[in-house]
Amino acid sequence: MLQQRPLRTAGQATRGVTGSCLVLVGGLGVSTLPPSSPLLRSGVLDVIRGAQAGRMSALVLVLVGLALLASAWLALCWHVALTGGEDRRDALDLVRFSAMVWCAPLVLAPPLFSRDGWSYAAQGMLARVGLSPYDHGPSALLDGRTATLPDPYRLQGGAPIVQAVDPMWADTPTPYGPLHVLLGEVGAGLTGNPWVLVVGHRLVALAGLVMLAWAVPRLAAWTGVDPALASALVLPSPLMMANGVGGLHNDLLMVGLMAVALVVGVERHWAWGAAVGALAAAVKLPGGLVCIGVALASLPAGVALVTRVRRLAAVAGLALAVLLGLGVVTGLGHGWVEALMVPGMITTPLSLTSLAGGVLDWAVALLGADLPPATFMRIARGLGLVAMGAVAVGVALRWPTGEREAAVAAVGMVAAAFVLLCPVVHLWYFLVLPPFLATLRLGRTAVSALIAVSVTLGMVAPLDSSLHGAYYAIVVACMTLAVLLPVLLLTRRARDRIDRIASSRWLVLQQSPPSR
């Protein structure tokens, strides 16, 4: 019982906070910062960042901090799995409290493991000064003197708002929806300080975490899964802490809105679900996939195909109207639709279709075939998009209707198809999966895999594109991970703990209540 283990729960909270603090301190040594930042004039930080040994030490500090967070999370999940009876409500409060205090040190951190947060700040400023971020990249904020400098010096020599933006995206429009840009524009109207704007964007991302804290227990109650354990698997996980909170990606706000859309669409009315689903798409387009689950759950069981198609069309029509209406009301327009191909400019190793196509291109090149570059990669990416659409259509037309648990599974299925088949996949794309997978009645092996993947994707966050070309850092990070990951996942004690969480007798509480 929770009352009998106060010291243990206090130790978990302290360990998690310590880990977050180490990530914050280490992140200051390895993250990209605007050259004009006052912190860089502090002396000590400048020395650490200017020396190879200092940067490598900071990187190890980040990894140790992430390991402490992962260890605290596993202990928290184990603790919740052992909690039964009336203490389950206290367990849910403990999970929410842990997520809150573990996030707190990261609120003031710079964008970690990616420069996207700095781009968010610049895109908001573009909208604030009357330049559409759907027509211009952050480089449009440069003055005439710095605009003529070669990359990356033109950004570093420009105004603070653009100094830390990744040169790769300096001239590209944003593919994000009008709600994301509007929030950035509001922030830019209050301050031009990029670090303050980054903190503002992180608070917006944390609003998504608050939405998940509200929605996940309700989704779990539909499916008969313990709300406390489902929340523990989602809210304070290493995947969430490293990529959603530390990495400062708008995927966290998107998935929070998706979870809320499914809940209100089922428990209130499908029109509310469609409207909130449109808001999720107005942050990032894949958020609109939740509308499939809203439509299916709002129908009676066993309806005719024509009735199903009508409801799907109604939900899609309302969501599209809200999405396009936001572009008109905000004055931002719909240029983000044309910019959706911007992320596809790069190749990421987590994209299965890009990886398969790249291997085929390499193989035919070895055989001496005279084909244009990336021929098979383009074909594989195209097939992946077709398969993604086929999965979405198949789920929409053939998945059971009138069942809340089936609706959660439907959203999980189409979200998984997106992550697995998308031409470009980053670590933070996986944030869309846990809220829907952790609330399903999964088997022991599947839950164990979810735990292992959450730990791994959180721990490897520093190895994302932010380290491209930094070979010493990559080697140091890999060597450190080779020590930490087995301790967290493969030792006998670790395997026993994960198995105990995955086989918790409190995982399935009761049958899901009938849909309205």
What's the pLDDT score for residue 164?
A: 86
> What pTM, to 2 d.p., does this model score?
0.89
Phi then psi for 164, rounded to 5 degrees? -105, 5
Break the chain into its structural domains and give their ranges.
2-112+200-334+389-502
DSSP output for 426-479:
-GGGGGGSHHHHTTS---HHHHHHHHHHHHHHHHTGGGSGGGTT-HHHHHHHHH
- CA distance linking residue 80 with residue 91, whole number of Å: 6
Name the residue among 258, 299, 221, 228 with its Cα closest to residue 84: 228
pLDDT in tens, the chain (516 residues): 444 455 466 677 889 999 999 999 998 888 888 888 888 777 778 778 778 888 888 889 999 999 999 999 999 999 888 876 556 778 888 999 999 999 999 998 899 988 889 999 999 999 998 888 998 888 888 876 666 666 666 677 677 888 888 888 888 888 899 999 999 999 998 988 899 999 999 999 999 999 999 999 999 999 989 899 999 999 999 999 999 999 989 999 999 999 999 999 999 999 999 999 999 999 999 999 999 999 999 999 888 899 999 999 999 999 999 999 998 998 888 888 877 777 666 778 888 988 998 888 888 888 877 788 888 888 999 999 999 999 999 999 999 998 899 999 999 999 999 999 998 889 999 999 999 999 999 888 999 999 999 999 999 998 876 555 567 778 888 888 899 999 999 999 999 999 988 887 555 554 444 343
What's the pLDDT score for residue 283?
A: 94
Radius of gyration of the chain (CA): 23
Q: Which two tokens stand for residue 81?
A: 């799995």
User: Residue 294 in contact with residue 407, Cβ under 8 Å?
Assistant: yes
- CA distance linking residue 53 with residue 39, whole number of Å: 19
Sign for the pseudo-dihedral over CA of 427, 437, 435, 101: negative
In Å, the largest CA–CA distance within the chain is 71
Report residue 410 CA to chain centroid gap: 19
* The residue to which tokens 């596809």 are assigned: 344
What's the pLDDT score for residue 512?
A: 42
Which H or E run contains 212?
helix 194-223
CB atoms within 10 A of CB 313: 11
What's the pLDDT score for residue 515?
A: 40
User: Residue 394 in contact with residue 308, Cβ under 8 Å?
Assistant: no
